[in-house]
Amino acid sequence: MLQTLSQPWPWYIAGPLIGLIVPALLLLGNKSFGVSANLRHICAACLPANIPFFSYDWKKESWNLFFIAGIAIGAFLATYGLANPQPIQVHPALVRELGGYGIHDYSNIIPQELFNFSSLLSIHGFIIIAIGGFLVGFGTRYAGGCTSGHAIMGLATLQWPSLVATCCFMAGGFFMANVILPFILQL
């Protein structure tokens, strides 16, 4: 059993399992799936200020906070209990491309040359981590939800704004990976 859990699952198993979350949440409690709203719930619970955006009954959404806690616990268990001892496999073409930018360490899930504290103090690290993080947060708020909420829940419930948001997420991701990121890595 642990061997099965520690291996990547094929799309035709993982995809339907993720997809079944939508009807399960709707049937069991008329709940919507999404991750980004949890930050709002946490702020509403922790900030005593009378900010109108955070003035609502967050306790009705407390189930979602348990969902986020489950994600954190699951990530911890997967990292430390179900870690695959095999080295991370990176396609040779990607290794060549990233090698041109000085990225050679694939011992972790993310390249250590980009994502570390000292990198944050460099211009490309600051752009990727700080400005990129701000833009992701701004885009999530502007789009009215994150990729999981729109692409999984919104598309499953046939919401037109979610289709538009998901297409924009994908187009933005392609543009970032193929145009902006190579430019930033050359700085």
Please state, for a pLDDT cut of 90, what percent of the chain lies above it. Answer: 12
The continuous run of DSSP H or E covering 5 comes out as helix 2-5
Q: How many beta carbons lie within 10 A of that of residue 149, not counting itself?
A: 20
What's the pLDDT at 171? 94
Reported as a single tens digit per residue, the pLDDT across 151-173 is 888 888 889 999 999 999 899 99
Question: Which long-range contacts does 67-76 make (Cβ < 8 Å, 24+ apart)?
Answer: 67/38, 68/35, 68/38, 71/35
The continuous run of DSSP H or E covering 146 comes out as none
Copy the structure tokens of residue 48.
Answer: 């005593």
Task: Round to whole Å and give the CA distance between 97 and 93.
Answer: 6
Residue given tokens 């000085």 in the structure block: 102
Task: Round to whole Å and give the CA distance between 35 and 45.
Answer: 16
pTM for the model? 0.72
Reported as a single tens digit per residue, the pLDDT across 40-90 is 888 888 877 788 888 888 888 888 888 889 989 988 988 888 877 777 888
